[in-house]
């Protein structure tokens, strides 16, 4: 028996148990650009309501042109980390554009926001410090915190009462950092940053917000939670992704106080030991931020679409989680129902995802709808009509 055989048996058992729990993840193959209308590998065309393509930039011509121009003028890849020979003018320009967008002092790019979060805690905080983290924070924040020796405190999602008691418990530590997602991706709720900021001042803590789902989305001009709560430049650390609203290719960033970013350039491991983002991505990223600096059209349209959709869904009788983002959770509670309804919606040409335990709490199954500036009114109407039809068929609506 070869050494792998025993392990292979074990893996097959694991895979079987994932399958029998109904939790096996299949990839769904798309044979078109990412957009509001996509063509599946089967040839079927559907309306897409499950991408993080909030501003419709994933297939935007200006970004494609900018990526192609950057590739022509700066090549395909960097073959280096940033500090050896992997920094081009484009990387510096993109970092400056991100800082301008958020009203922060400096920015450091990463290959992803997963890397940004993985590399932010360990260089800054140590054994004698405290990280106070929202219970529903993204997996990459949880992993990043694990890599750091600081004492961990956890507070219930967006509960300011619990945050306050955790801050009191953390008073003995040298430095305190509160960390939260800007928008929580399963409900679409925004972190109460105004209250978090007040508690942080009261208990001498710094604040970090992961703006992955809020940047480009939340706030009148899409500058994120610090715009919504009028705290631009007052949050110490922001992390975010280029993989959602800003074109959806790849890349992440940490932006905030000058010295923090400076230390990250010296010590952050995913920055020091992983390759630079390619010129095409940097070039298209610059174009994305230019587009958003020069016009508020996309942000306005997204806000209009989100308000229209949630309003009509509530009118139709659906149970919708209160949302301040482009995420609209249609509550169904029952896991099987969420899967059946998503399947029926796909038959109707609407592409959405049903989520259930363990992705959301038990008995809290739902279909998550993600709105985009790229959705036209007729797309929204078709989606709402399909929800109403399938909702009646499945007894969700009376
Ligand atoms: C999507 C997401 C990430 C990961 O971003 P990538 O750039 O895809 O690695 C991190 N944090 C939050 C809150 C996210 O939603």
Query: With 80 as the cut, is the pLDDT of residue 242 above it?
Result: yes
Q: Indicate whether 342 belongs to any domain.
A: yes
Whichever domain contains 77, its CATH number is 3.40.640.10
Query: Ligand 1 atom 2: the closest Cα is on which residue?
Result: 212
* Ligand 1 midpoint to CA 397 (Å): 34
| Count of domains forming the chain | 2
Given 91, 138, 197, 213, the catalytic residue = 213
Q: Indicate whether 119 belongs to any domain.
A: yes
pLDDT tens track for 202-234: 999 999 999 999 999 999 999 999 999 999 999
- The pair of structure tokens assigned to 276 is 């630079």
- The pLDDT, as a whole number, for residue 17 is 95
Q: Is residue 214 within 6 Å of ligand 1 at its C-beta?
A: no
Q: Is residue 138 within 6 Å of ligand 1 at its C-beta?
A: yes
Same domain (yes/no): 388, 330: yes
- The verdict on whether omega for the bond into residue 358 sits within 30 degrees of 0, i.e. cis, is yes
- The pLDDT, as a whole number, for residue 25 is 87
Query: With 90 as the cut, is the pLDDT of residue 78 above it?
Result: yes
Q: Indicate whether 4 belongs to any domain.
A: no
Query: With 80 as the cut, is the pLDDT of residue 58 above it?
Result: yes
Q: Is residue 104 within 6 Å of ligand 1 at its C-beta?
A: no
Q: Which residue out of 109, 113, 183, 208 has the highest number of ligand 1 atoms within 8 Å of its CB and is therefore the one to mutate?
A: 113
Q: Is residue 113 within 6 Å of ligand 1 at its C-beta?
A: yes
Q: What mean pLDDT comes out for the span 370-387?
A: 98
Q: Indicate whether 202 belongs to any domain.
A: yes
- The pLDDT, as a whole number, for residue 21 is 83
% of the chain exceeding 90 in pLDDT: 96
Using CB atoms within 10 A of its CB, is residue 373 exposed (0-12), middle (13-18) or buried (19+)?
buried
Same domain (yes/no): 308, 281: no
Q: What mean pLDDT comes out for the span 183-195?
A: 97
Whichever domain contains 375, its CATH number is 3.90.1150.10
Q: What mean pLDDT comes out for the span 42-59?
A: 97
Same domain (yes/no): 163, 81: yes
Q: Which residue out of 244, 250, 277, 370 has the highest number of ligand 1 atoms within 8 Å of its CB and is therefore the one to mutate?
A: 244
Same domain (yes/no): 230, 360: no
Q: Indicate whether 88 belongs to any domain.
A: yes
Which of 216, 253, 319 lies closest to 117 in space, CA to CA? 253
Full domain range(s) for residue 227? 61-294
Instruction: Examine the fold and report which residue of 264, 294, 324 is the final residue of a domain before the chain moves on.
Output: 294
Q: What mean pLDDT comes out for the span 370-384?
A: 98
Instruction: Examine the fold and report which residue of 279, 294, 309 is the final residue of a domain before the chain moves on.
Output: 294
Ligand 1 atom with minimal separation from the 241 CA: 7
Written in H, E and C, the secondary structure of 82-109 is: HHHHCCCHHHHHHHHHHHHHHCCCEEEE
Query: With 90 as the cut, is the pLDDT of residue 1 above it?
Result: no
SS3 of residue 366 by DSSP: strand
Same domain (yes/no): 378, 325: yes
Query: Ligand 1 atom 14: the closest Cα is on which residue?
Result: 212
Ligand 1 atom with minimal separation from the 242 CA: 7
With beta carbons less than 8 A apart as the criterion, state whether 149 and 175 touch: no
185 catalytically annotated: yes
Model confidence at 378, in pLDDT bands (50, 70, 90)?
very high
Q: How far is CA 46 from the centre of its chain?
A: 23
Which of the 8 DSSP states describes residue 176?
Answer: E
- The pLDDT, as a whole number, for residue 386 is 98
- In sequence order, the β-bridge partners of residue 35 are none
Same domain (yes/no): 122, 240: yes
- The pLDDT, as a whole number, for residue 256 is 98
- The pLDDT, as a whole number, for residue 398 is 85
Same domain (yes/no): 110, 254: yes
Which of the 8 DSSP states describes residue 360?
Answer: S
Q: Is residue 241 within 6 Å of ligand 1 at its C-beta?
A: yes
Same domain (yes/no): 270, 317: no
* Ligand 1 midpoint to CA 6 (Å): 35
Given 138, 197, 244, 375, the catalytic residue = 244
Q: Indicate whether 15 belongs to any domain.
A: no
Query: With 90 as the cut, is the pLDDT of residue 384 above it?
Result: yes
Using CB atoms within 10 A of its CB, is residue 242 exposed (0-12), middle (13-18) or buried (19+)?
buried
244 catalytically annotated: yes
* Ligand 1 midpoint to CA 243 (Å): 8
- The pLDDT, as a whole number, for residue 201 is 98
- The pLDDT, as a whole number, for residue 107 is 98
* Ligand 1 midpoint to CA 239 (Å): 9
Q: Which residue out of 53, 133, 140 has the highest number of ligand 1 atoms within 8 Å of its CB and is therefore the one to mutate?
A: 140
* Ligand 1 midpoint to CA 3 (Å): 37
pLDDT tens track for 118-177: 999 999 999 999 999 999 999 999 999 999 999 999 999 999 999 999 999 999 999 999
Q: What is the rounded distance in angstroms from the CA atom of residue 85 to the CA atom of residue 94? A: 17
Same domain (yes/no): 131, 267: yes
Model confidence at 104, in pLDDT bands (50, 70, 90)?
very high
* Ligand 1 midpoint to CA 270 (Å): 15
Q: Indicate whether 180 belongs to any domain.
A: yes
Q: Which residue out of 120, 121, 138, 142 has the highest number of ligand 1 atoms within 8 Å of its CB and is therefore the one to mutate?
A: 138
Question: What are the two backbone dihedrals, phi and then psi, of residue 234, each rounded to the nearest 5 degrees?
Answer: -105, -5
Given 133, 140, 185, 338, the catalytic residue = 185
* Ligand 1 midpoint to CA 249 (Å): 12
Instruction: Examine the fold and report which residue of 261, 294, 327 is the final residue of a domain before the chain moves on.
Output: 294
Q: Is residue 260 within 6 Å of ligand 1 at its C-beta?
A: no
% of the chain exceeding 70 in pLDDT: 100
With beta carbons less than 8 A apart as the criterion, state whether 143 and 117 touch: yes
pLDDT tens track for 299-358: 999 999 999 999 999 999 999 999 999 999 999 999 999 999 999 999 999 999 999 998
Same domain (yes/no): 97, 38: no
Q: Is residue 246 within 6 Å of ligand 1 at its C-beta?
A: no
Same domain (yes/no): 282, 385: no
Same domain (yes/no): 42, 137: no
Q: What mean pLDDT comes out for the span 179-195?
A: 97
What's the chain's average pLDDT? 97
Q: What is the rounded distance in angstroms from the CA atom of residue 337 to the CA atom of residue 282? A: 42
Q: What is the rounded distance in angstroms from the CA atom of residue 164 to the CA atom of residue 168? A: 6
Q: Indicate whether 238 belongs to any domain.
A: yes
């Amino acid at each position: 028996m070869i050494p792998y055989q025993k392990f292979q048996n074990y893996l097959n058992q694991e895979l079987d148990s994932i399958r029998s729990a109904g939790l096996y993840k299949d990839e769904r193959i798309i044979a078109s650009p990412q957009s509001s209308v996509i063509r599946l590998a089967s040839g079927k065309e559907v309306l897409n309501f499950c991408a993080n393509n909030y501003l419709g930039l994933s297939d935007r011509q200006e970004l494609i042109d900018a990526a192609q121009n950057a590739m022509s003028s700066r090549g395909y890849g960097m073959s280096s980390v940033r500090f050896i020979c992997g920094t081009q003018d484009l990387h510096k320009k993109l970092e400056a554009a991100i800082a301008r967008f958020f009203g922060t002092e400096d920015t450091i790019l990463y290959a992803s926001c997963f890397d940004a979060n993985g590399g932010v805690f360990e260089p800054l905080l140590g054994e004698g410090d405290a990280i106070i983290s929202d219970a529903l924070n993204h997996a990459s924040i949880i992993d990043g915190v694990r890599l750091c020796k600081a004492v961990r405190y956890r507070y219930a999602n967006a509960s300011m009462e619990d945050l306050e008691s955790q801050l009191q418990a953390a008073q003995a530590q040298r430095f305190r950092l509160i960390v939260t997602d800007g928008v929580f991706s399963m409900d679409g709720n925004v972190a109460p940053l105004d209250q978090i900021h007040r508690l942080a001042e009261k208990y001498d803590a710094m604040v970090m917000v992961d703006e992955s789902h809020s940047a480009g989305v939340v706030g009148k001009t899409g500058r994120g939670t610090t715009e919504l709560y009028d705290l631009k430049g007052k949050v110490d650390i922001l992390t975010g992704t280029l993989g959602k609203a800003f074109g959806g290719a790849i890349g992440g960033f940490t932006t905030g106080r000058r010295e923090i970013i400076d230390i990250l350039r010296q010590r952050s491991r995913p920055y020091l030991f992983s390759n630079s983002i390619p010129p095409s991505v940097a070039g298209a990223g610059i174009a994305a931020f230019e587009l958003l600096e020069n016009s508020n059209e996309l942000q306005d349209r997204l806000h209009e679409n989100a308000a229209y959709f949630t309003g009509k869904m509530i009118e139709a009788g659906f149970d919708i989680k209160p949302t301040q983002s482009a995420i609209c959770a249609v509550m169904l509670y029952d896991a099987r129902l969420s899967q059946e309804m998503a399947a029926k919606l796909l038959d109707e040409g609407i592409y959405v995802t049903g989520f259930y335990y363990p992705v959301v709490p038990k008995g809290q199954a739902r279909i998550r709808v993600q709105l985009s500036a790229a959705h036209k009114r007729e797309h929204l109407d078709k989606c709402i009509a399909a929800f109403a039809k399938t909702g009646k068929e499945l007894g969700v609506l009376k």
